[in-house]
Structure 1
Amino acid sequence: MTPSTSHRSSQPATPLENDDLLLNILLGLPPTPSSLHEVSLVCRRWNRLVSDPGFRRRFHARHCHNPPLLGFLKPSLGEISFTSILDPPDCVRRGRFWLSLDGRSHIISCRHGLVLIHDQSRLQLLV
């Protein structure tokens, strides 16, 4: 064994080489829609780590109390459109969520990513 090889083997792994430390770093990522996707593109190892169901559960448990606000629904003249408030790459394209209704429909409530709409002309509730 040469002196240079014995020196390399005695050095501790950097945080990016240690899976446990790297997982803790990745858990601190913001819960924006693109964060895990972008990390998964770094390399196969990072993709494997963030794709693991155990990591996804821990990530969700850490961030579920404060999910990001993606945008708002805007009712206007018989239609409801979604306006994103996030910057690229997290913004939702204009027109991606759009619903055409008659003038007698209105939004009752929004909660947990669901929207409750009352359509009075058809006597229906839409989720």
Structure 2
Amino acid sequence: MSDITPRNKTIQSFRDLDVYSLARGGAGKVFLLTRTFPREERFSLVDQVRRSSRAVAAMIAEAWARRRYEAAFINKLNEAQGEAMETQSWLDQALDCGYITPDQHHTHDAVFQQLGGKLQRMIEKSSSFCS
């Protein structure tokens, strides 16, 4: 669990998980990034990328609440992984439309790529999280 949460730290809440902190920070960065998008994208691309980026942290929190049942825990982590990848797809669209630079795309995409990897490791080690 060392790449998922700090060593020697007792996990008492989903807020203690590094993956949750990373997801929350990533959503915040997406929010700031999308503030510069054209007004006509407000109810389409902006809403979609903000929703999917925020959903990652929410799904992690929900997975934590459902860890009594390993299958439910894994299912929610899988959904979080899907939301992270959806965010990457919306970032691709923003790049293709010229709303973000390749450097901005790389920076933000890397966060959600890292989240996907961390979530996969949590899925693979699900028994260590579940009672």
Structure possessing the higher radius of gyration over alpha carbons: 1
TM-score (norm 2): 0.23
- The structure in which a higher percent of residues are helix is 2
- The structure in which a higher percent of residues are strand is 1
Q: Which has the higher contact order (CA 8 A, sep 6+)?
A: 2
